[in-house]
Amino acid sequence: MMMDKKTAIVEKAAWMGYEAVKAESDSLIMTVVPKLGSRVVSIYSKAKQIELLRTPQSEEAYSQAPLLYGIPVLFPPNRIEDGRFSYRGQHYQFDINDTATGNHSHGLVHDKEWMVTEMKAGNGQAVIITEFNAVNDHHVMRQFPHPFRLVMKLVLEEGMLTQTVEVHNDSSQAFPWGIGYHTTFHFPFREDSSEANSIFSAPIGQRWELNCRFLPTGIPVTDTRSGPLNEGIAIAGVQLDDLFQKEPEAANEAVLTDKDAGIRVRYMADEAFGHWVLHNGDGTGRYLCPEPYTCVTNAFNLKLSPEITGMKEIEPGRSDSATCVITVEHTE
């Protein structure tokens, strides 16, 4: 265990039988499981004694819907049509793991083991750094034959968790990339909180029209929910399963407020993230996924400019990064 005089603790832990790393600040306790795609599986408010992320009741429950727990890392995010795309003359074939639509879904790393490279505490901060190196996983290299590394830095300080992912191109070729998070909050945060008193806002603009395979047609459409969602709406009776462009004039953060619990969570994404998926199933599961994406679903196949799709490229020997910040506020 490592501890600073202003509460900052980093220590090894266990989560449902997996080796984990736990970080603690004055306000929050955060747990990450490297073997499960370096997934943050828990953000716990010490003052309110409330878990903010959706957590499974058992390993069996987790295995039935693993992407609906914690913060899965999607590289690249969402679906790729037929699992195929071409880039700079290179042809790629990803596994078809969404048999219902015949697409690849949710990327290459959310269920892979990452390595812990650093854990430290000091100056009121708890820091955990993990890394995924593609050359150590032949399943990933078979689908995306570029040596690359993802380095995740998690910094917990008081009521704030900062999550930065660096993408390193260690290969001799440029490659396209995109990243997203299938972040699943338990919302409302408290079991006895009213959905009528649970307010959600998101910085969304036009919605991407999807076809029957849940792939963008390339056509953005005006959605009458965008204005109210920018202002904030009660989540009661609301069903969401949509992909939106970020509203250009809005601050790039989703906000979840549970008035009964006295908790507000601000989920900020930096300028690399230009799209959001909003998902809560059929609206009755008491969970909500505000998912920031750097690129739109199937961006590598869309006949649109990267300025619109958000598809990014890294040249050999270069790197890029993207950052999200979760801030927990107590409103009473």
Annotated catalytic residues are 182, 291
Q: Euclidean distance between the first and final Cα of the chain, in Å?
A: 32
CA-based nearest residue to 218, from 248, 240, 250, 243: 243
Distance of alpha carbon 143 from alpha carbon 148, whole angstroms: 13
